[in-house]
Structure 1
Amino acid sequence: MTVQAILNVKGSDVVSVLPDERVGAAVQTMMRHGIGAVLVRDPVGAVLGILSERDVMRGIARGGAACLGEAVETLATRDVVCCRPQDGIGHVMGLMTRGRFRHLPVMRDGALAGIVSIGDVVKHRLAEVENEARALREYVAAG
């Protein structure tokens, strides 16, 4: 299974914020959408970074609640690891595990094609395993 298969099911919508938006507003955006990260993009749409719940917690640990009034760009992770639609689920799981992050933007020919979370990956991997098990049971029953 590929990342594209996940995007085919979940869609390619990506929630993003501008770099000068306040962290508190970005947190409200994440809460409203039920997500754990937002992409930080410039007005043209170029990906500048990603702000995750973990980034916000680090900001609070360093400077307290005052960090919620800071610009998103002060807390966002700038070196964003991305994947491609044709990448396999195993590859993506490896990237997330090694990098210790849970959200991965998907880039196609230099343009943002979507975002996948560890939850998306696990859900689709479980479905794949269940389908394989069902096919094996049917094969054995028919034999």
Structure 2
Amino acid sequence: MANNTRPGSRLMDRSEYPGKPKPLTSGPDATVSDAVAKMSDKNYGCVVITDPEEKVIGIVTERDIMNKLVAKGLDPNTTKLSDIMTPDPRLAKETDDMLDWLRIMSNERFRRLPVVDDQGRIKAVFTQGDFVSYTWPDMISQMRAMAKAQFAGNFHYLLIGGGIALYSLLMVIILGFR
């Protein structure tokens, strides 16, 4: 992915980034049962499958567990993560642009994005919810600016409408006293 980022828009520049919890990782030979227990314990929606150097080789999400294990009637105690993982998932670098990844995730319909450092080691997992919460303040500002522009652009209508309303109110009051 091209690194044409705007200041403050890199994944690693977000104030929330340093505080993100360490992703749940596991080797490919662990059982689904063990991974599910850890996912449930930590309330995580995925486990990142890594090699001994912590480089990402796959990901197992709740959806993978449902579609590739439960739906096929496989035994979670004997099925390995490598049997149901999505191999070679899309990976973001810490220096990538946040909004670029939000668009990609939305267009390609995936919800979890492993983030790696320059050596390809797992650092974090971003979810679509993370991206929405990070962009929410910007969207609110844009909505305010649009509302102000709309209000300013239609101000003459508001004056006319307000004048008519005021005139009508005065007429009701004056005619009501006769």
* Shared fold per TM-score greater than 0.5: yes
CA contact (8 A) 1:89 1:125 kept: no
- Which of 107, 117, 124 is residue 127 of structure 2 equivalent to? 117
CA contact (8 A) 1:6 1:124 kept: no
Structure 1 spans left out of the alignment, 5+ residues: none
In structure 1, the partner of 2:41 is 32
TM-score (norm 2): 0.66
Identity %: 25
In structure 2, the partner of 1:3 is 11
Aligned length: 137
One-letter amino acid matched to 2:54: G
**Shift of residue 12, structure 1, vs aligned partner:** 5.7
TM-score (norm 1): 0.80
Which has the higher relative contact order, 1 or 2, with Cα contacts under 8 A spaced 6 or more apart? 1
Structure with higher Rg: it is 2
Moved over 4 A (4+): 131-134
Q: Secondary structure at the match of 1:124?
A: helix
CA shift digits 1:6-50 (9 cap, x unpaired): 653543612101111110111111111111111011233221110
One-letter amino acid matched to 2:137: A
What's the RMSD between the two structures over aligned residues? 2.5
Q: Does 1:81 align with 2:60?
A: no
Q: 1:119 to 1:20 in 2, by over 3 A?
A: same
Q: 1:24 to 1:75 in 2, by over 3 A?
A: same
CA shift digits 1:105-126 (9 cap, x unpaired): 1122123232211111111111
* Matches for 1:60-75 after TM superposition, within 5 Å: 60-62=70-72, 64-75=73-84
* Matches for 1:87-102 after TM superposition, within 5 Å: 87-102=96-111
